[in-house]
């Protein structure tokens, strides 16, 4: 994935309201009004968040009669986790090995002082 | 044991990492500075690790290689300041991306026999950092993206088909 797109995805995910919006959209498409209900913020503020999510490719919007519906687009999320995963794997595995080595070193030290 | 916390804030050219170990600080320091010990843990198991040089002193150089069936990945840099159990500062460069140098500061903090390792890596630009993470250390990040793991777990639990590759 290109870097600009990735930065947009991470920027969009950095906000708790936007993450909550994404979580709600996993249950189905919703209008701005429906999305705004559980939040103590105005509908225009929610629209602003939706714009950020749409620009990041995390949602798409379609029209149903007079309402615009937001739809979750999971693909960028999958790409984002892959971006993180390889770096994490390198260090997770290294540190698991280090845990084992430290246990060996500790028992060696105990032997020596006996 | 502990989980590795990795933070890579959007738009900032650094990565922060921390991990707790059930061992005193001196032992962690040895594991990070003795090349015979280093080869026993640094990098995924599938790589054979070869340490060409590891001069742990102010101005000392290091170079090591991860090798597997697909090839070799070499890394080198220089230690800055006197390395001690309080901390180690070094430059880091992956030879697959020459000229992209990061500055890494590691600190070791012991509390009640357990030691937290913290590494702060500063890159020359946000793009360089992102490219480094994307290459995954030549093959192979979390909380900074604000509980992305939690969100993804939640998303995949609710919509298993959509989150699958």
pLDDT at A85: 73
Residue B109 confidence (pLDDT) above 90: yes
pLDDT at B61: 98
pLDDT at A111: 74
Residue of B nearest to A15 (CA): B146
- Chain B residues whose CB is inside 8 A of the A27 CB are 158
Residue B16 confidence (pLDDT) above 60: yes
Phi, psi of A19 (to 5 degrees): -65, -40
Cβ separation A78–B139 shorter than 8 A: no
**Which of B:72-131 have CB within 8 Å of A?**
126-127, 130-131
Cβ separation A97–B37 shorter than 8 A: no
pLDDT at B147: 36
- Which residues share a beta bridge with B70? none
Phi, psi of A112 (to 5 degrees): -65, -40
Distance, in Å, from the CA atom of A19 to the CA atom of B151, rounded to the nearest integer, reads 7
Reported as a pLDDT band with limits 50, 70 and 90, residue B93 is very high
Residue B146 confidence (pLDDT) above 50: no
C-alpha closest to that of B114 among B4, B7, B28: B28
Residue B149 confidence (pLDDT) above 50: no
Contacts (Cβ under 8 Å, ≥6 apart) of B41: A94, A95, A97, A98, A100, A101, B31
Which of A7, A8, A10, A18 would best serve as a mutation to test chain B binding (most B beta carbons within 10 A)? A10
pLDDT at B103: 97
Reported as a pLDDT band with limits 50, 70 and 90, residue B95 is confident
Which of A9, A88, A103 would best serve as a mutation to test chain B binding (most B beta carbons within 10 A)? A88
pTM higher than 0.80: no
Residue of A nearest to B162 (CA): A74
- Chain A residues whose CB is inside 8 A of the B163 CB are 74, 77-78
Mean pLDDT across B18-44: 92
For chain A, 114 residues long, give each residue's pLDDT as a single digit of tens: 456 777 788 788 878 888 889 888 887 899 999 899 888 889 899 999 999 999 999 999 988 777 889 998 877 776 666 666 778 888 999 999 999 999 999 888 777 766
- Which residues share a beta bridge with B5? B18
| Structure-model confidence comparison of residues B1 and A65, the more confident one | A65
The tens digit of pLDDT for each residue in B37-78 reads 999 999 888 889 999 999 999 999 999 999 988 888 899 999
Reported as a pLDDT band with limits 50, 70 and 90, residue B152 is very low
Q: In chain B, what's the furthest Cα-to-Cα distance?
A: 54
Which residue reads 């989150």 in tokens?
Answer: B163
| Structure-model confidence comparison of residues A114 and B9, the more confident one | B9
Which of A74, A102, A113 would best serve as a mutation to test chain B binding (most B beta carbons within 10 A)? A102
Distance, in Å, from the CA atom of A68 to the CA atom of A70, rounded to the nearest integer, reads 7
Cβ separation B146–A16 shorter than 8 A: yes
Considering CB atoms only, which of A27, A77, A90 is closest to B140?
A: A90
Distance, in Å, from the CA atom of A11 to the CA atom of A86, rounded to the nearest integer, reads 20
User: Residue B83: which H helix or E strand, with range?
Assistant: strand B71-84
Phi, psi of B79 (to 5 degrees): -85, 140
ipTM > 0.90 for the complex: no
């Amino acid at each position: 994935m290109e870097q600009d797109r990735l930065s947009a995805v991470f920027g969009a995910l950095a906000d708790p309201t936007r993450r909550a919006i994404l979580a709600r959209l996993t249950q189905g498409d919703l209008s701005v009004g429906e999305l705004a209900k559980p939040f103590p913020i105005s509908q225009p503020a929610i629209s602003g968040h939706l714009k950020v999510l749409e620009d990041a490719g995390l949602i798409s919007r379609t029209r149903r009669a007079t309402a615009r519906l937001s739809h979750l687009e999971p693909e960028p999320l999958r790409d984002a986790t892959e971006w993180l995963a390889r770096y994490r794997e390198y260090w997770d595995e290294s540190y698991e090995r280090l845990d084992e080595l430290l246990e060996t070193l500790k028992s060696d030290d105990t032997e020596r002082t006996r | 044991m502990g989980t590795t916390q990795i933070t890579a804030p959007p738009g900032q050219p650094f990565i922060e990492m921390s991990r707790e170990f059930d061992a005193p600080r001196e032992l962690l320091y040895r594991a990070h500075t003795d090349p015979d010990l280093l080869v026993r843990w640094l990098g995924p198991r599938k790589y054979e690790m070869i340490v060409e040089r590891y001069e742990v002193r102010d101005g000392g150089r290091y170079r090591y290689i991860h090798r597997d069936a697909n090839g070799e990945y070499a890394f080198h840099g220089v230690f800055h300041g006197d390395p001690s159990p309080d901390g180690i500062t070094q430059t880091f460069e992956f030879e697959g991306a020459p000229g992209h140098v990061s500055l890494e500061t590691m600190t070791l903090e012991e509390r009640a026999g357990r030691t937290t390792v913290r590494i702060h890596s500063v890159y020359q630009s946000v793009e360089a950092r992102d490219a480094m993470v994307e290459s995954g250390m030549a093959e192979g990040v979390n909380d900074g993206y604000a509980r992305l793991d939690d969100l993804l777990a939640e998303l995949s639990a609710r919509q298993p088909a959509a989150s699958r590759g």
